[in-house]
Amino acid sequence: MTRILLVETASPKRVRKKAEDILAGGIYDAPEITILCSEDKKTIQYLAELPGAQVVALREENRRKILEDLSRSNFDVLHVFWTGENKYRRMKLLALHVKAKATDVDIGDGSVFRLTWKAYLRHWQFRRAHPLPTDHWEFVPPLDAPVEVEYYEGEKILLIQSAEPPYVLRALERLKERPLFRNPRYTLFCRNRPEILKHFEDHPMIHEIRTHSETRSSLKHLQGLRRERFAAVVVFFTGDPSYWKIKYFPFLLGARHKVIFNEYNDCFYFTLGGWLALLFHRLGGRPRLQGRPRWTWRAQIPLILLTKVLLFPFRFIWLLLVWLRLRSAAWVASS
């Protein structure tokens, strides 16, 4: 019996086709397949339909433990794909953390080689001349037309889950009782976790739920949300440090209005004055500052602003690079 770990380092359609070929026999003796894939529900369901294969989803919160358990399983063969598709780079690197007796690399052009340093150099030289396998479009069909954005006569509002679900639900109740928008349609952008999704799946005010897995595919999410041209973005500043990264996201979407909710369910449109008032509140509520004279933490505000002004050129360059990357991606797609 040959125990094989097949890693989703190419399109799910290609992975399933390879699994079917292995199970049909002729490649490995008495194969027993385990498939390691992403946590996307459609991918898991698609691969789980394959009889005779065990599917393991690489959950982000248990990533390290899953990889360690797979390494202890002592697989005979680790089978990966190096087809030149950039979106699977991270999975390719994670696959190398799994220990196996041998590693077979499928490049998609019908060639499979045993991974060694010499074979890697030969493959690198080959891939420079052939960026994608010849059958690439058979497994990953091209987009013949740009994605059309649905037109809506009212206001499209994006809710960014930058706090725990109870805060988001309280904000929705407030928006229902005292609406801020004309005929709004809400889209929720939240973490892809079952314990979070269960709070919003059947909510009557939410028209669509879009999920993300922390910072993975952040540029792709940014491009998709910018195309929607939301009238306003609702974000939560509750002081929770576990959501600090996503709080920067609303300022890159190009929405005209940004509505801020705090932990007391108070809300205001984002302005410099409102943001400073919230910052005063944050600093005044810290235990380490409560024992100090009031003027000390008030003087800290100008110092923070001065630091931000000094760092502004670097932030501007970063935003300019993001803009240039978006423009280049749009130019490639249009050509």
| pLDDT at residue 224 greater than cutoff 50 | yes
Per-chain mean pLDDT for the chain: 82
CA distances from 286 to 236, 242, 282 (A): 19, 17, 7
What contacts 24+ positions apart, CB below 8 Å, involve 279-283?
279/304, 282/239
DSSP structure class, residue 53: E
| pLDDT at residue 123 greater than cutoff 80 | yes
Domain boundaries, the chain: 2-139, 155-270, 286-327
CA distance 233 to 141: 33
Fold of 155-270: Rossmann fold (3.40.50)
Q: Which two tokens stand for residue 12?
A: 């799910």
155-270 shares the fold of 2-139: yes
CA distance 47 to 40: 11
pLDDT band of 202, cuts 50, 70, 90 = confident
Cβ-based burial of 10 (10 A; exposed 0-12, middle 13-18, buried ≥19) = buried
CA distances from 64 to 59, 73, 192 (A): 9, 15, 18
Which DSSP string do the residues of 172-231 spell out, in sequence order? HHHHHHS--SSSEEEEEEEES-HHHHTTTTT-TTEEEEEEE-TTTTHHHHHHHHHHH--S
| pLDDT at residue 289 greater than cutoff 50 | no
Q: Is domain 2-139 classified as CATH 3.40.50?
A: yes
Percentage, residues of the chain above pLDDT 70: 81
Of 21-35, 132-146, 290-304, which has the strongest mean pLDDT?
Answer: 21-35
- pTM score: 0.48
Q: Which two tokens stand for residue 85?
A: 């598709």
What letters, b where the CB count within 10 A reaches 16 and e where it falls short, cover 150-161?
eeeeebbbbbbb
Better-scored residue on pLDDT, 141 or 328: 328
Q: Poorest-confidence range of 64-68, 153-157, 308-312, 325-329?
A: 308-312
- Read off the pLDDT of each residue in 37-54 and give the average, rounded to a whole number: 90
Contact 3, 22 (CB under 8 A): no
| pLDDT at residue 143 greater than cutoff 70 | no
| pLDDT at residue 275 greater than cutoff 90 | no
| pLDDT at residue 207 greater than cutoff 50 | yes
Query: Which residue in 81, 115, 120 sits closest to 101, CA to CA?
Result: 115
Strand locations in the chain (E): 2-7, 31-37, 53-57, 75-81, 100-106, 112-114, 155-160, 184-191, 206-212, 232-236, 257-261, 267-269
pLDDT band of 300, cuts 50, 70, 90 = low
pLDDT band of 288, cuts 50, 70, 90 = very low
Percentage, residues of the chain above pLDDT 90: 29
What pLDDT shows up at residue 169? 93
Query: Which residue in 150, 7, 23, 112 sits closest to 67, CA to CA?
Result: 7
CA distance 243 to 161: 8
Give the distance from CA 33 to its chain's centroid: 28
